Amino acid sequence: MSPRGAALFDVDGTLIDSTYLHAVTWWEAFRQSGHRVPMADIHRAIGMGSDHLIDHLLGEGRDRDRDGDATVRAAHGTLFAQYWERLAPLDGAAELLRECAKRGWTVVLASSAHGPELDAMRRALDAEDVLTAVTGSDDVSASKPAPDLVESALEHSGVRAEAAVFVGDTVWDVRASRRAGVPCLAVLSGGFPERDLREAGAYEVYGGPADLAERLDSSLLAEPGRRAG
């Protein structure tokens, strides 16, 4: 029997308290390669895939020397790995996933992370019992804000876009989900202002996973089958 609906969740900043760890490790990775990038600019780019993030912060012009991009990306990965075993879920994160599963949603994680980094976040979240599938950057050819990751999550769920809801914390999550035709509920736990999330197209905005869990009955996640109009 096909699932009635899918609840798709971003992980970094939405379920795991990692946004600012990413910001500081990207800052250090850029510094090591001789780039001075303001921390505030980095924070606003968190949520993009690493390829888009580097272009966004260093310039997307054809004349930019991209030979050092792999070094920056690798440095960020090494620096962030120092925190893997100390990652912590945001309040209410696992409870939110379990409540969605209890209500009949197919629960899928859709993260821009890959390999061991994604595994570390799953260990921190400790909600494997309610996950139907997990998809990451290794499964797609284009990263957020492209819709590929959301579309991969849909494929894993076996649900069409009109029967799904995506939950994320950045404007890049909102844009990716909109491009995939999936309404996005946004949370403020990644540090993006509510105004920015709503302007990007967020259907609803909540303080964090605990707030969403408490207000689930009045949200798009109240029951499978409800969707944005």
Q: Please write down the HEC assignment for all residues of 78-131.
A: HHHHCCHHHCCECCCHHHHHHHHHHCCCEEEEECCCCHHHHHHHHHHHCCHHHC
> Once rounded to an integer, what is the mean pLDDT over residues 158-168?
95
pLDDT at 225 over 80: no
Bridge partners of 116, per DSSP, are: none
* pLDDT > 50? residue 229: no
pLDDT tens, 51-102?
889 999 998 766 677 889 999 999 999 999 999 999 999 999 999 999 999 9
| Inter-helix orientation angle 69-81/19-32, to 10° | 130
DSSP for residue 9: E
| Span 179-190, pLDDT tens digits | 999 999 999 999
| Residue 73: predicted pLDDT | 95
pLDDT at position 2: 45
Calpha distance 105→8 (Å, rounded)? 9
37 burial level (CB within 10 Å; 0-12, 13-18, 19+): middle
* pLDDT class of 228 with cuts at 50, 70, 90: very low
Please report, for residues 99, 100, 113, 189, the alpha-carbon distance to residue 215 in angstroms, rounded to integers and kept in the order given: 11, 12, 28, 16
| pLDDT computed for residue 196 by the predictor | 97
Q: What's the average model confidence in pLDDT over 200-209?
A: 97
Lowest mean pLDDT among 14-28, 40-54, 192-206: 40-54
CB atoms within 10 A of CB 100: 24
Identify the CA nearest to 221 among candidates 167, 160, 150: 167
Query: Mean pLDDT over residues 129-149, rounded?
Result: 89
Out of 119-128, 131-140, 143-152, give the one with best mean pLDDT.
Answer: 119-128
* C-alpha closest to that of 13 among 129, 86, 114, 121: 121
* pLDDT tens digit sequence for 100-135: 999 999 999 999 888 899 999 999 999 999 999 999
- Does residue 227 have a pLDDT over 60? no
- The helix or strand, by DSSP H or E, that contains position 205, with its residue range, turns out to be strand 204-206
Average pLDDT of span 160-170? 96
Alpha helices in the chain (DSSP H): 19-32, 39-45, 50-58, 69-81, 93-102, 115-125, 148-157, 171-179, 194-200, 209-214
DSSP character for 46?
B
